[in-house]
Amino acid sequence: MPFSVFYSLTLTAALTTWSPGPNNILLLSNASKYGLKKNLKFMCGIWTGSFSLMLLCGVCTKALTSIVPGIRSAMTCIGAAYLLYLSYATLKRLPPGEERDTKEPTYKMGVFLQLINVKIIIYGLTMFSSFILPYEGRPLILLLFAFYLMFMGALGNILWAFAGNVLKQSYERHYRGMNACMALLLVWCALRVLGIL
């Protein structure tokens, strides 16, 4: 793979995985509520799910597009609906200490949320089909790229969780405004996934 392609892959990966997405916004919100330490299991779950998805995307990209040509459009619509649901749930979140069924984020929750995260599925399919598979097809190289793509996402997750941890006290005082901002970011993500923005 030429360096210019690797550079483009890295830039695209950073812009995609570091932008507001379901897991990044949940990390921001959860870290502001529970702290960074209690989010580590959740982040590890996200990373496990991400690595699994990147492996699947690397192996299945060509097969999926040839077997089900319209899958990307369907996934886009489902993903946008999912993001809008998360936006609504974020907006309706009760103030800290008043939530009835408060559940700390878990490893399983992180894996599950990542495995159904359409943004990451589309990201993986795009990265492998556009940047990686035209140049590399060896299993070990695909494995390394799957790890690299997961690592780029992990850096973004850490940044968002750290921001949430730093903003914890502010969140406790201004939860409505912060939830509204996070909800709007999720709406923005949905519009972006649909290609409207």
CB-CB contact of 20 with 188 (8 Å):
yes
Q: Is residue 84 part of a domain?
A: yes
Does residue 92 belong to any structural domain of this protein?
A: yes
Overall residue count recorded for the chain in this entry: 197
- What's residue 187's pLDDT? 82
- The answer on pLDDT for 169 being more than 60 is yes
User: For the chain, what is the mean pLDDT?
Assistant: 79
pLDDT of residue 72: 61
Tokens of 30: 């959860």
pLDDT at 118: 77
Which of 75-79, 89-93, 158-162, 169-173 reaches the highest mean pLDDT? 158-162
Total domains, the chain: 1
Tell me, yes or no, whether 5 lies in a domain: no
Q: Are 118 and 78 in contact (CB under 8 A)?
A: yes
Q: What is the C-alpha to C-alpha distance for residues 90 and 71, in angstroms, rounded to an integer?
A: 28
pLDDT band at 54 (very low <50, low <70, confident <90, very high): very high
Residue 9 domain flag: no
143 domain-assigned: yes
Lowest mean pLDDT segment, chosen from 81-85, 101-105, 146-150, 177-181 = 101-105
Q: How many whole angstroms separate alpha carbon 87 and alpha carbon 80?
A: 10
**Mean pLDDT value across residues 109-135:** 82
**Closest C-alpha to 144, from 11, 42, 32, 9:** 9
Per-residue confidence band for 50, with pLDDT thresholds at 50, 70 and 90: very high
Identify the domain containing residue 175 by its residue range. 23-96+104-193
pLDDT band at 155 (very low <50, low <70, confident <90, very high): very high
Please tell me the distance from the alpha carbon of residue 14 to that of residue 188, in angstroms, as a whole number. Answer: 18
Q: How confident is the model at residue 149 (pLDDT cuts 50, 70, 90)?
A: very high
Does pLDDT of 58 surpass 60? Answer: yes
pLDDT class for 174, splitting at 50, 70, 90?
confident
Could you tell me if residue 179 is inside a domain? yes
Instruction: Name the least confident of 8-17, 70-79, 138-147, 182-191.
Output: 70-79
Asked whether residue 10 is domain-assigned, the answer is no
- For residue 102, what pLDDT is reported? 55
pLDDT band at 68 (very low <50, low <70, confident <90, very high): confident
Q: Is residue 72 part of a domain?
A: yes
